[in-house]
Amino acid sequence: MIPGKMVKGMGGAMDIVQGEQKVVIIMNHVNKEGQSKVRAACELPFTGKNVVDRLITDMAVFDFSEEGMVLKEI
């Protein structure tokens, strides 16, 4: 369950993330209240773990490596 939501789950995209050469997430950096949507750790169940290569927001670009999340551009 997603806390505070009426739906039973996030849905899934396992067929998209498994075995792909590169997975890029594109999203807004902040929510409606102005709080960052970028997190140090996931708070909801995963569809795939350690599969994201790049995160692009309207404020920054991050790459993911063995060392963790790396800021590439602001």
Q: Is residue 34 part of a domain?
A: yes
d(CA 14, CA 5): 22
42 φψ region: left (φ > 0), alpha (ψ -120 to 50), beta (else): beta
Can you give the pLDDT at residue 5?
A: 63
Q: Which mean pLDDT values do the consecutive 10-residue runs of the chain (74 residues) have? A: 59 64 90 91 73 92 91 95
Q: Is residue 21 part of a domain?
A: yes
* CA proximity to 60, closest of 28, 33, 32, 31: 28
Give the domain extent around 69. Answer: 14-73
Q: Is residue 2 part of a domain?
A: no
Domain count, the chain: 1
Can you give the pLDDT at residue 43?
A: 74
* pTM for the whole structure: 0.70
Q: Is residue 8 part of a domain?
A: no
29 to each of 14, 45, 62, 71, how far by Cα in Å?
24, 20, 11, 13
Helix (H) / strand (E) element for 16: namely helix 14-17
Q: Is residue 63 part of a domain?
A: yes
Can you give the pLDDT at residue 12?
A: 59
Q: Is residue 66 part of a domain?
A: yes
d(CA 73, CA 66): 19
Q: Is residue 6 part of a domain?
A: no
Q: Is residue 9 part of a domain?
A: no
